[in-house]
Amino acid sequence: MIVTGASSGIGRALAERAARAGWRVFAVGRRAERLEELKRAGSGATGAIATSATDVREAGAPARIVRDALGSFGRIDVVVNNAGTVASGPISLQSDEALREQLATHVIAPLALVREALGELRRNRGQIVFVGSGVARIPVSGLGAYPPAKAAVRSMARIARNELRPFGIAVTYTDPGAVATEFMTRAGFSGPPGWIGASPHEVARRILHAIERRKSVVNAIPWQTAVVALGELFPALTDLVLTHAPQVVGTKVAGPPKDVKPPGQTRQLPEFARKLEPLPEPPTLQPKQQPLSPFEAALEPIAYRMRRSNLSATFVSSLLLPGAELEVGDVALSWAGMPNKHERELTHQVLEALADAGFLARLDQDRYSVVRPYQ
């Protein structure tokens, strides 16, 4: 199984889960250090993980990925096109480079990867997975070309399904819903609220289930898909809500810009912001914030939900004792007393985030061991 965008979020969760289920996974991502962490995390799995630090948009990258995957495992049965990128700002003011980057990542590179792997997929009656988004059906402002790129993904998945069915190749389109990963926060957005954001591991579980059953469509969070379908019926009302409450879908700009210069220097605004009028400079500039520690960065995507649930980062850090074993139910009981379903799920998300960041090693679905104590 080839999985692109495997250095974080859904891609990493899928690679780990597939390896534990016995798959041999060729994990592709841009961050080599994250891929090394992934390989170590999968070292005890019944399957195997090989990695490639590659930008799928690079010239020749799809052919190289297929060649290296065959070199590692000798065959290709599934291609999961999960790599994604977003450029914040109005679509009408996006630079040519930003537009090309988003369309290349979501449309051109996946199709090129499918083309390069087609011989293997035909030989093995394989499967292709395209990861879409709810914004393919309800366009959201402020995400640049990301919504139209995902609309193209939804369309090309359907076309590819019809074209490749005679060759025994299954094509799956996945709508993952709003997922609590670093994808949106890296672009400067708040990300989905805690009560909406789904765990990437739950989405990965549903994708793997769909692969094993060769499903055509996966709606990872069914209630969100139902809301999107309802929103399509009332576009004017939906646009009004999204315009005045962008935090509902996580596109509210998160805090002050991160490129603030020290006093006496001019702050360089993003290109799209420089084209908007008026653009008054604030009377005072705040000093640059200290970078987050690895522990803080691991919990940042779910920090809002932790605050809402009164789960303190201090308590979480106290769990990271050398050699300690943590079980989801025990940890939830320690901070919530009699935990309900949501508190237990939050506990699971916290432990998964720490495992993704290398603080914990997964023993099974609900048990972890501390491999990197808090300092």
Instruction: Give the domain extent around 333.
Output: 294-370
Residue 146: active-site member: yes
Residue 343 resides in a domain: yes
Q: Residue 188: how many CB atoms within 10 A of its CB?
A: 16
In a domain, 16, yes or no: yes
Report the predicted TM-score, pTM, of the whole model to 2 decimal places: 0.64
Give the CATH number of the domain where residue 361 resides: 1.10.10
In a domain, 74, yes or no: yes
| Last residue within a domain, chosen from 228, 258, 283 | 228
What would the DSSP string read from start to end of 135-184?
Answer: GGTS--TTBTTHHHHHHHHHHHHHHHHHHHGGGT-EEEEEE--SB-SSHH
pLDDT of residue 42: 80
State the DSSP string of 273-291.
Answer: HHTSS--PPPSS-PPPPPP
Same domain, 308 and 170: no
Are residues 200 and 330 both part of a single domain? Answer: no
Residue 248 included in any domain: no
Say if 234 falls within a structural domain. no
Do 217 and 303 lie in a common domain?
no
289 within a domain of the structure (yes/no):
no
Say whether both 176 and 308 belong to one domain.
Answer: no
Do the domain assignments include residue 44? yes
Q: Which residues contact 278 (CB under 8 A, 6 or more apart)?
A: none
Q: Is 363 a member of any domain?
A: yes
Q: What is the pLDDT of residues 40-94, one digit of tens each?
A: 888 777 889 999 999 999 999 999 999 999 999 999 999 999 999 888 788 888 8
pLDDT for 255: 45
Handedness of CA 46, 52, 57, 59 (dihedral sign): negative
Query: Which entry of 146, 173, 368, 374 is annotated as an active-site residue?
Result: 146
Same structural domain, 211 and 324: no
Out of 196, 228, 260, a domain closes at: 228
pLDDT of 108-148, one tens digit each? Answer: 999 999 999 999 999 999 999 999 998 888 888 888 899 99
pLDDT at 195: 60
In angstroms, the CA 149 to CA 273 distance is 22
Tell me: pLDDT of 191 over 70: no
CA distances from 341 to 13, 39, 202, 257, 311 (A): 21, 31, 14, 36, 15
Closest by CA position to 149, among listed 178, 121, 108, 189: 108
pLDDT value at position 222? Answer: 84
Read off the tokens for 272: 């799209």
Q: How far apart are CA 56 and CA 64, in angstroms?
A: 10
Count of structural domains within the chain? 2
Mean pLDDT taken over the chain: 84
Q: Are residues 223 and 303 part of one domain?
A: no
CA distance 128 to 164: 10
- Looking at residues 182-190, what average pLDDT do you find? 58
Domain end position, chosen among 206, 228, 250:
228
